[in-house]
Structures are given as structure tokens and as C-alpha cells.
Amino acid sequence: MLDSTRLAELKERYARRTKQLRQIQAVEHTLNALEKQAIPDQPLPPLLYSERQLLRDPSLLPLDEAMSELRETVINKYGIWFLLNKEFLKDLATWLDGRPLIELAAGNAAISSGLHALGQQAIPIDKLDWAGQDVEKAEPWTPIKKQDALEAVKEAIQSVQSGQTDILPVFLLAWSPNGLTFDFEILKALRASGLSFDFIVIGEKGPSTNSQAFWDEAQLTLPAELNAHYQAFDAFNDKIYLAK
């Protein structure tokens, strides 16, 4: 686990190495922001080193080992599985262009909280049943509507089909647990509705997030405007996808 004591030790060890010191300071800023349930200003730079780099410069090993623990620290301490930043949220709000967003399986609802600060309408949805997960108690950043994700999508579809509203909200699902298939069920429900839809998925294509059925069947694109300030910082190559 990364904490202030360990970061202070790293800063002292790498005090004369500009790149490494900047990495440590960026992580420190990120953790300080999360401690206040605030979104960090900027995306983190890549934090890990290749095997070749470590062989050439073994003095980087303590830093690489420490940085590899960042995601675990963020998950266990703050109940967040990925890292946001204000620049990404500005990109997302611009892309939404006033359309409402429903954050599915929102967890602690950091995305919705950040969008609210920008004046963007966002509704976080979560069953709030985290039994068996890495973190079992929710500490939401903003009030969450307790609801199943698929149920919320079907409810939104029905609202459009019944004439209660004109368009579907944008749906967002971030770091969906691997092995659960509700992501694919959501995609099938959206397709079956016959309505125009936008379904944003944040994750790593493969076994780490989402279901294999989703990755196999979804038609995926990588919108440049949403990925401009969202980048991998560790061994996970997570990206922002549009699924159709």
C-alpha cells in the first residue's frame, strides 16, 4: 500500500532525478485529492518501467515496485477501480453536449460527482451490494439511486418508447467486474430497443474487466476526444470505448 510515509521516502531517494520525482509528486497529488473525495487535476503519467529499463537501471526497482501498488491502494482505500482527472471530465461533459448521463454500477459515483461539479446532469445507479468485492462498503461521493443496472436501462428505454421523454440518456459503465454478464445484457437490451443509443464502457479489453461475451460481441470504437486525457498508468491498458 502506498501512503504518505512511503511517498516521502521515495521523494528523498529520487530527489535528484527529475522524471522520477515528478512521477512521485503526481501520485502524491492524486492520493491527496482522493482523500478529500476530489478529482485530481491531471492524468497520471505512465508510472511503470519495462524489464529492459529496469535491467539497465536497477535503481528504479524500488520506485517501480511502489508504483505498481497504486491501483490496489486506490481500490482498497477509496473504493475506486480506475483514476479520473478533471481534464477527462471536461472532455466528457463537452462530448455529452447537455445530454443526461446514467452511470451504471456506479460504485462510489466519482464520475457523476465530478460531472455535477461541471453542471452536467448525471445519475449514478448502483445496487450497493458489494459482498465479495475487494471493497464491501460503499462511501459514495454523491447520492446514488439504488437500482440494478439492467433494470435502469430498460426503464430508460420504456420512458422513450412510451413518449415520456424524447431521447435516451447516455449510459456509462466503468470497470465492470469480469465474469459478470450484465454488461452484455445491457448491450442486447439497447440493441433490441431500436433506439439510437450511446453506451460508454471504460475497461481493459480481455479478462480483467467485463464479460468475454461483451468483448466478443460488442462493436467497439475508441473516440479520440474521450481518450485524450484518459491514459493507462500501470500494467492495465484500460481505455474508453463506445459500444454498439
pLDDT tens track for 179-188: 899 999 999 9
Residues 101 and 172 in one domain: yes
The tens digit of pLDDT for each residue in 221-240 reads: 999 999 999 988 888 999 99
Q: Which residues pair with 220 in a beta bridge?
A: 243
Residues 43 and 105 in one domain: no
Model pTM? 0.93
Question: What's the distance, Cα to Cα, between the start and end of the chain in Å?
Answer: 38
CA distances from residue 119 to 36, 86, 206 in whole angstroms, order as listed: 20, 13, 34
| Low-confidence winner among 78-82, 172-176, 216-220 (lowest mean pLDDT) | 78-82
Residues 183 and 143 in one domain: yes
Residues 130 and 214 in one domain: yes
132: CATH = 3.40.50.150
Of the candidates 94, 136, 143, the one whose C-alpha atom is nearest the C-alpha of residue 119 is 94
Q: Are 122 and 100 spatial neighbours (Cβ–Cβ below 8 Å)?
A: yes
pLDDT band at residue 135 using 50, 70 and 90 as cut-offs: low
Q: Indicate the number of domains in the chain.
A: 2
User: Tell me, what's the pLDDT at 132?
Assistant: 59
Q: Rounded CA gap, 82 and 240, in Å?
A: 12
User: Tell me, what's the pLDDT at 136?
Assistant: 59
Residues 207 and 105 in one domain: yes
Residues 27 and 146 in one domain: no
Residues 94 and 55 in one domain: no
Residues 91 and 24 in one domain: no
**By residue range, what is the domain housing residue 132?**
86-243
